[in-house]
Amino acid sequence: MAWLNPKGFLMEDVIRKAIEFQARKILRKEEKQRFANRKYQRKHKLRTGSTPLVSDYREPSIWGVAPHFNPRYCITHSKFLAKVIWLKIRSREFEPQPAIRYRIAKDTGGFREIMVFSIPDSAISNLFYRRLRDKNRNLFSPFSYAYMKDRGLFDAVIQLRSFLDGGKKYVIQFDFAKYFDSIDHKYLEHLFEITGFNLSNTELYLMRSFLKHKIFDSKNYGHGPAEIRRVGVPQGSSLSLFLANLAGHQLDRRLESTNGQFVRFADDIVAVTNNHNDALQILSAFDDHCEYSGISINHQKSPGISILATDVKSEMRSFYVNNGDGDQVDVIEEFDYIGHKFSKDEIQLSSRGIKKQSGG
């Protein structure tokens, strides 16, 4: 029996095209890098008269880890790969190839773990992520802006700025500690059952498969037993974008029920209220969300509750949240959010935002 996607195309053919698209995207990126290197060599020779000492071109080492990481192999064998993958998905025997783990240094210190999946697995993840995103678009909170087709970072910035107009504003900011890495799988399973999102059995099966994927470090791929993910969502899989938004959905609904206003961009959330009692309700919503989801708040990096600069001096208040307490609500002149600096009267790019714009 031929299996069709919602638009009537054979799924094998859809998967084949997705694999080829993913592979060609990698080849274009590599060719762009080679062109930049050749351009530098020509410029260097023109300016100095000497040829720069550069090593001969070598394909990225990841292409040699296994055939499914090599874009040329995947293009050549795309039809066969698509047929096997779809057969395994239908028979519930599919599992992603072990991902390669890289540790990337963060500007703020420490490391971020990035997973590189094989080209066919990345294609499957992209394909089903787009389907999940599009058919569930109207079920997410309108104040959730990350990974959405019809709204994004700029919309979040404009919305947040509109919340700051008027009199005294309490700004509530909390930084989640390792958000993607700490989401509890049991919490996600709970959300699959209760949230009312449009999730087919095949989509649920694939999300669960990627949630418990195997992992090798970049230096010892294929040697020894693979590690298996037990918690968190993999940074490097498109399906994780949907799962990360899903993990924040209950918090969105809870915040919508308060008297405050908020914007969420993945794990970056800012809420705004007009009085301290409403700010405490929002603070309690964060605390409850952490208890249920497995996520924790990084109190060292979290401003908590502040008053955006007005004629009001700092207030002495007491509050308690997530095993941390405070005794003063400070007045701030500005605050940073998703690469922008917000004050009472204007928006500017923050230093981190400028660095990202310049490619630093």
- Over residues 47-58, the pLDDT tens digits come to 777 776 666 667
Domain boundary among 94, 112, 138: 94
User: In this structure, are 88 and 124 located in the same domain?
Assistant: no
pLDDT tens digits, residue range 55-81?
666 788 999 999 999 999 999 999 999
CA dihedral 146, 151, 154, 160 (to 10 degrees): -80
Structurally, the chain folds into a number of domains equal to 2
Q: Which amino acid is at 106?
A: K
Nearest Cα to 270, choosing from 245, 310, 309, 304? 304
Spell out the residues 6+ positions from residue 241 whose beta carbon is closer than 8 angstroms to its own.
129, 133, 146, 147
Task: Give the DSSP H/E element, type plus range, for residue 111.
Answer: strand 111-116
Domain boundary among 94, 126, 145: 94
Spatial separation of the C-alpha atoms in residues 221 and 184, rounded to whole Å: 26
CA separation (Å) from 8 to 3, 4, 126? 9, 5, 19
Mutual orientation of helices 185-194 and 239-247 as an angle, nearest 10°? 80
Distance of CA 22 to the CA centre of its chain: 19
Average pLDDT over residues 127-156: 93
**Given pLDDT bands bounded at 50, 70 and 90, which one contains residue 315?**
low
**Given pLDDT bands bounded at 50, 70 and 90, which one contains residue 345?**
confident
**Which pLDDT value is given to residue 322?**
42
User: In this structure, are 307 and 173 located in the same domain?
Assistant: yes
Average pLDDT over residues 343-354: 78
Query: Please, what sign has the CA dihedral across residues 129, 134, 136, 138?
Result: positive
Average pLDDT over residues 211-235: 93
User: In this structure, are 110 and 85 located in the same domain?
Assistant: no
User: In this structure, are 338 and 250 located in the same domain?
Assistant: yes
Query: Please, what sign has the CA dihedral across residues 209, 211, 212, 217?
Result: positive
pLDDT for 161 beyond 80 = yes
Structure tokens of 205? Answer: 């099966």
**Which pLDDT value is given to residue 325?**
42
Quick one: 264 exposed, middle or buried, by C-beta within 10 A (0-12, 13-18, 19+)? buried
Percent of the chain past pLDDT 70, that is, above it, reads 87
Structure tokens of 187? Answer: 């919490």
Q: What is the rounded average pLDDT for all residues in the chain?
A: 87
**Which pLDDT value is given to residue 72?**
97
Spatial separation of the C-alpha atoms in residues 42 and 302, rounded to whole Å: 49
**Given pLDDT bands bounded at 50, 70 and 90, which one contains residue 222?**
confident
**Which pLDDT value is given to residue 303?**
87
CA separation (Å) from 110 to 81, 303, 330? 38, 20, 29
Contact 252, 266 (CB under 8 A): no
User: In this structure, are 124 and 250 located in the same domain?
Assistant: yes
User: In this structure, are 88 and 111 located in the same domain?
Assistant: no
User: In this structure, are 292 and 311 located in the same domain?
Assistant: yes
Structure tokens of 315? Answer: 């207030």
Phi and psi dihedrals of 19, rounded to 5? -65, -45
User: In this structure, are 142 and 192 located in the same domain?
Assistant: yes
pLDDT tens digits, residue range 229-258?
999 999 999 999 999 999 999 999 999 999
Using only C-alpha atoms, the chain has a radius of gyration, in whole angstroms, of: 24
User: In this structure, are 232 and 116 located in the same domain?
Assistant: yes
State the pTM of this model. 0.85
In degrees, rounded to 5, the angle at the alpha carbon of residue 173 between the alpha carbons of residues 166 and 353 is: 90
**Which pLDDT value is given to residue 320?**
43
Helix (H, G, I), strand (E, B) or coil at 252: helix
pLDDT tens digits, residue range 253-311?
999 999 999 999 989 999 999 999 999 999 999 999 999 999 999 888 888 899 997 65
SS (H, E, C) 212-241: CCEEEECCCCCCCCCEECCCCCCCCCCHHH
User: In this structure, are 60 and 76 located in the same domain?
Assistant: yes
CA separation (Å) from 265 to 67, 83, 261? 36, 37, 14
User: In this structure, are 37 and 101 located in the same domain?
Assistant: no
**Which pLDDT value is given to residue 37?**
73
User: In this structure, are 227 and 327 located in the same domain?
Assistant: yes
Spatial separation of the C-alpha atoms in residues 18 and 124, rounded to whole Å: 7
pLDDT tens digits, residue range 1-25?
445 565 545 999 999 999 999 999 9
User: Residue holding tokens 């007005």?
Assistant: 310
In degrees, rounded to 5, the angle at the alpha carbon of residue 252 between the alpha carbons of residues 250 and 255 is: 110
Range of the domain at 10: 1-94
Domain boundary among 41, 76, 94: 94
